[in-house]
Amino acid sequence: MRRVFKNTSVLFFGKFVVALCGFLSTMLLTRYLGAHAYSQYAYVLTLTGTFFILADFGLSIHLIRSIAANKTNAYQLQQVLTARLILSAVSLVLLLSYVNLVLTSAQLLLPLIIMSFFQIAQWLSLSYEAYLQGQQSFYKAVLPQILVALLSLITVYIGMLFSFELSGIFSVLLIAQLCGLFVYMVTTKVYFLGKISFAATLTLVKKVTPLAIGIILATLYFKVDGVLLGYFYPPTLRNDLGIYAVAYKLFELSIVFSGYFIQALFPHLSSLQNTSSLQRATKKYGLFIGCVALIISGLLYVCAPQLIYITAGGEFVASVRVLRILAVAFAPTLLAGFFMSVLLATKKMAYTYLQVLWH
C-alpha cells in the first residue's frame, strides 16, 4: 500500500502540473479564439484523437504489464515503437480518407495534418512512458510530461502574442511534443535504431489484438460524441462543439486526476498472481475510489457555473448545463475504469468486452 501511494504521489504531482498547464492553455485559448474558432480547435483535436486510437492498440498496457511481471528488456519497447509507427501510418490514411469524404471546406485540412503528426509523436512518447512505468521509474516517466506541458503553455502564449491562427497554434504544440519525445529517448537510451524484426512486431500486434479491441471500444465510447457533434453541427458554421468541449474538458480533467491512482495501481495489480490477494486489493481500492468519485461528482454539479466562468468566460455560459449532465456520469465512469483496470491486469478480456458493450 505504501509503495502504491508513493508512486501515486509522484504521478499525481507530475500530472497535476500537466493538467494545470492544460487548464491554463484552455483558459487562454477559449478567450483568444472565441466560441466559433474554439469549436474548430476542439474538432481538430477530437477527430485526430479518435482516428489515432488505432495507434494505441493496447500496446502501453501490454508493455506495463509485461515489464511489471517479467522485467522485459528494451528490445520489446523498440517493437512497440515500430508497431506504433505502422499503426499511426494506417490511422493517418483513414483520417485523410474520412476528411476527404466529410469536409466541404479545406479550411481545417492543414491543422488536421499538423495534429496528426502531433498524435504520432504523442503515442511514441506514451510508449516510453509505459516502459518506465512498468519499471516503476515514475520520476523518469513524469519529467518529460512536465516539460511538454510547460513548453506547450509557453509556446501557445507566444503564439497568441503574435496572433497565430489555428495552424500556428497546432505547430507550436507539435514542437513541444517532439521535445518531450527527444527527452524520453535520452532518458531511456532506447532509440529507433537497432535490429528491428517486422515479423516479431507483427507477432506482437497479433498477441495484443484481443486487448486492443477492448481498449479501442472503450476509448471510442469517450471520443465518438465529439466526432458526431462535428458531423451534425459543422464547426466551420456553428459553435456547438466548442460549448460541449469546454464542459467536457472539465469532466475529462476530473477523470484524469482521479485516474492517477488507478494508473499507479495498475503495475501493482498486474504483479499480483494470487487470486485472493487480488480480490482483497480490489475491494480495498474499489471502496476508496467509489467514495472519491461521489464527492467529485457532487462538486462538479454544484460548482458548474463557477467552473465554466473561470475556464472560458461568459461566452460559454451554455456549457454549464452540459457540465451538470456530465457530472452525473462521473462516478460510474470512474468506477468502470477501475474495474476495467482490474480485468486488464488479470487478462480477462471477455469480461472487458462485456463491460464496454454495457456502456
- Domain assignment of residue 132, given as a range: 2-358
pLDDT confidence of residue 243: 93
pLDDT of residue 351: 43
User: What per-residue confidence (pLDDT) applies to 111?
Assistant: 93
Confidence (pLDDT) at 356: 41
Q: Do 181 and 124 touch, CB atoms closer than 8 A?
A: yes
pLDDT at residue number 179: 92
CA 244-296-223 angle, to 5 degrees, is: 35
Q: Which of 24, 35, 55, 11 is nearest to 315 (CA)?
A: 35
pTM listed for this prediction: 0.80
What is the total count of domains within the chain? 1
Note the pLDDT of residue 104: 63
Q: Provide the pLDDT for residue 347.
A: 59
C-alpha–C-alpha distance, residues 267 and 140, integer Å: 16
Predicted pLDDT of residue 288: 85
User: What residue ranges of the chain have pLDDT lower than 70?
Assistant: 1-8, 68-74, 104-105, 192-197, 260, 263-264, 266-268, 270-275, 344-359
Q: Which of 141, 159, 179 is nearest to 25 (CA)?
A: 159
